[in-house]
């Protein structure tokens, strides 16, 4: 496995609409493994293929685990998803605001409105179709990653241009309350 370089908005490839994955070749499986390694190394919760300069409709997502009262990870609550050719088939009418970051925009955070719940259809790395109903942070992460496949970044969707901060500014503004949020910040 190898860590991949994550591209930033100065690279126009981040803005391209990505192509569907048509075949699960060994090369695609290697790319998936490398993307998982890259996401974990960066403490991210998601990574889309365009972020590693591959124009493919593919993303890896690892949702944050639930923790017990002592803050220890509860086994079985950390979910890794490999999603190919995902499609959002339903969106809740309810919209919620939340703070996001992006591995392609390191050091910054912004507030974004997302559907509170969605349904997503797609294929996993074994070629099996899946249908997921997601809500809250999981739904947010999926919306963020699927946006990447269409060349859309969270900075395009800020609730207000002022609701965009460096991590230091965010920490100074929101302090303690921010600590919890930051665990979810990077995708």
CB of 95 to Zn ion, least distance (A): 19
Give the distance between the most distant pair of CA atoms in the chain.
47
186 binds Zn ion, rule: CB under 5 A: no
Within 27-170, strands assigned E span 46-48, 58-62, 80-91, 95-100, 108-115, 117-123, 129-135, 164-166
> In this complex, which beta carbon is closest to Zn ion, that of residue 56 or of residue 102?
102
Count of residues making up the chain: 187
CB of 70 to Zn ion, least distance (A): 31
CB of 49 to Zn ion, least distance (A): 12
Instruction: Kindly tell me the burial class for residue 138, based on how many C-beta atoms sit within 10 Å of its own C-beta (0-12, 13-18, 19 or more).
Output: buried
> In this complex, which beta carbon is closest to Zn ion, that of residue 53 or of residue 129?
53
Which residues in the 67-106 window bind Zn ion by CB under 5 A? 102
Q: Measure the CA–CA gap between 84 and 132, rounded to whole angstroms.
A: 13
> In this complex, which beta carbon is closest to Zn ion, that of residue 111 or of residue 187?
187
Residues 159-178, mask of contacts with Zn ion (x by CB under 5 A):
--------------------
CB of 102 to Zn ion, least distance (A): 3
Which residue among 116, 145, 167, 180 is the active-site one? 145
Assigned token pair, 35:
């993307």
Tell me whether strands 95-100 and 108-115 are parallel, antiparallel or unpaired.
antiparallel
> In this complex, which beta carbon is closest to Zn ion, that of residue 39 or of residue 102?
102
The string of DSSP codes covering 50-85 is GGGT--BSEEEEEPPPPB-TTSPBPTT---EEEEEE
Is 145 tagged catalytic?
A: yes
- Interface residues toward Zn ion, by CB under 5 A: 102, 187
Query: Which positions are catalytic?
Result: 145
């Amino acid at each position: 496995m190898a860590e991949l370089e994550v591209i930033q908005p100065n690279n126009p490839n981040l803005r391209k609409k990505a192509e569907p994955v048509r075949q699960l070749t060994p090369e695609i499986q290697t790319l998936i493994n490398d993307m998982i390694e890259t996401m974990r190394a960066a403490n991210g919760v998601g990574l889309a293929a365009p972020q590693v300069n591959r124009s493919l409709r593919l993303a890896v997502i690892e949702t944050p685990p639930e923790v017990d009262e002592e803050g220890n990870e509860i086994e079985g609550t950390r979910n890794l998803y490999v999603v190919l050719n995902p499609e959002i088939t339903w969106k809740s009418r309810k919209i919620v605001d939340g703070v996001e970051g992006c591995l392609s925009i390191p050091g910054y955070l912004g507030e974004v409105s997302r559907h509170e719940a969605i349904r997503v259809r797609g294929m996993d790395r074994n070629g099996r179709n899946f249908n997921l109903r997601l809500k809250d942070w999981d739904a947010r992460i999926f919306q963020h990653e699927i946006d990447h496949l269409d060349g859309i970044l969270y900075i395009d969707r800020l609730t207000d241009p002022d609701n965009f901060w460096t991590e230091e500014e965010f920490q100074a503004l929101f302090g303690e309350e921010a600590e919890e949020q930051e665990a979810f910040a990077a995708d």
